[in-house]
Amino acid sequence: MSALRWAIRGALNTLDPATRTRLLDRRGLPDRSRQAATAAILERVRTEGDAALRALAAEFDRVTLDALEVPRAEWERALNALPAATRSALERAAENIREVHTAFRPLERRITTRDGVTITRRPDALGAVGVYAPGGRAAYPSSVLMGVVPAAVAGVREIIVSSPPSPNGLPTDVVLAAAAIGGATRVFALGGAGAIGAMAFGTASVPAVDRIVGPGNAWVAEAKAQVASVVAIDAPAGPSELLIIADERANAERLARELLAQAEHDPEAAVVLLATSEALIEATTEALERQLAVAPRAEVARAAIEVNGAALVVSSIAEAIGAANAWAAEHLLVACAGVEQVIAELRDVGTVFYGDAASVAFGDYATGANHVLPTAGLARSYSGLSTVDFYRWTTLQEIDRAAAARLSADVAVLADAEGLPAHAAAARAWGTDA
């Protein structure tokens, strides 16, 4: 048997209640110290503005910022300095994202009711959005594109990118280049909770936005949660997740590649394999061991598997579907027979991959779908980022005299029932004026 130790391994239907709870609940207990420290950072930014942002950059990023905003000339320099293959890949990814998100833009709808009232629901683009692009362990230009391009497609006028400064006081070149390719309007060298506070409250240099999107570390996630009453956010987010449903026909090497690809994100990433046989789990685990032996981020991936990973035998694909809906994964890969029926029954999931050549990595970068997705079971109530997130809806109500006369009596009765006589009088005034 392989030496790799999954955090949870065995038959799904034999898990005790405590282990099942551990499997399903990835949120964990609130970190009170992080909550308090984040609140303090946000308050500093709210009250001290740019001065707080400079102090935070010195404290956490170890840089002195001459300016918070990155001049457009630096974006262009970074874009021109990119290796040709990297630039081409980013441009193709941006075009795919643009094509997909354009196709799914929300449409204005209009209906006339039986009483002759015309109701219109119109999507109006937000005025300004903030896109957070992580730094830290790695730079993520793909996340820049996933936030900026849909906002541009929606027609948002001001698209701000905020990303932590590297030692030279600027975000990494590849992030700056992605901002240029995606269509951002401004870029700021700001990271962490301070960046979220700046975009939520506004400072002398950083404009307040109408919505903040994009992934980040635990501090960024906590800051977004705390400013959610001030500015809209995409969704609470945590470490990457993958759940695989597989039967005996699945290729163990392929399954191992997919598990490893998501596990390498973060030591707190969660990966789950639901397989119809112990033999497939063992073959996949052995393949994972071989791949970890040569993986550059093996330490990170192994920690994720051994702390948050699960390899479970299911008695049927139906049992796997039930477990998948309960787990509500960020990413879900279907590698079994009867794919169409399986995906028809999946309800609570961020995004589903299927097909002989489906790899979650393709969705992370270049299919055109969005990789900003709900985690920690929040796929039960949140969706992945899309153009819809960059609109607000205006409702228009057209009422002519004939319609008013038809509605008058019912509205007056209901207003009286609620003890609002002025409402009733306003309705009755139209009762005979057809």
Residue 290 has a CB neighbour count (10 Å cut-off) of 12
Q: Which residues pair with 242 in a beta bridge?
A: 271, 331
Mention every residue, 6+ apart, whose C-beta is less than 8 A from residue 294.
none
| E runs forming strands in 304-366 | 310-313, 331-335, 351-353
Q: How far apart are CA 308 and CA 365, in angstroms?
A: 24
Mention every residue, 6+ apart, whose C-beta is less than 8 A from residue 299.
none
Q: What tokens appear for 259 in the block?
A: 């598990």
Q: Identify whether the C-beta of residue 76 lies closer than 8 Å to the C-beta of residue 180.
A: yes
Residue type, 286: E
Active-site hit among 282, 331, 371, 418: 331
Q: How far apart are CA 93 and CA 305, in angstroms?
A: 30
User: How is residue 12 annotated by DSSP?
Assistant: G
Q: What tokens appear for 227 in the block?
A: 């400013």
Q: How far apart are CA 53 and CA 71, in angstroms?
A: 18
Q: Identify whether the C-beta of residue 368 lies closer than 8 Å to the C-beta of residue 18.
A: no
Q: How far apart are CA 258 and CA 91, in angstroms?
A: 25
Q: How far apart are CA 4 and CA 293, in angstroms?
A: 11
Q: Known catalytic residue: 330? A: yes
Say whether 344 sits in a helix, a strand or coil.
Answer: helix
Q: Identify whether the C-beta of residue 377 lies closer than 8 Å to the C-beta of residue 199.
A: no
Residue type, 76: E
Q: Identify whether the C-beta of residue 301 lies closer than 8 Å to the C-beta of residue 263.
A: yes
Q: How far apart are CA 101 and CA 94, in angstroms?
A: 10
Q: How far apart are CA 428 and CA 413, in angstroms?
A: 9
Active-site hit among 43, 330, 340, 371: 330
Cα 343 to Cα 86, 107, 328, 354, 381: the distances in Å are 34, 26, 13, 9, 18
C-alpha 81: how far from its chain's center?
29
* Residues noted as catalytic: 330-331
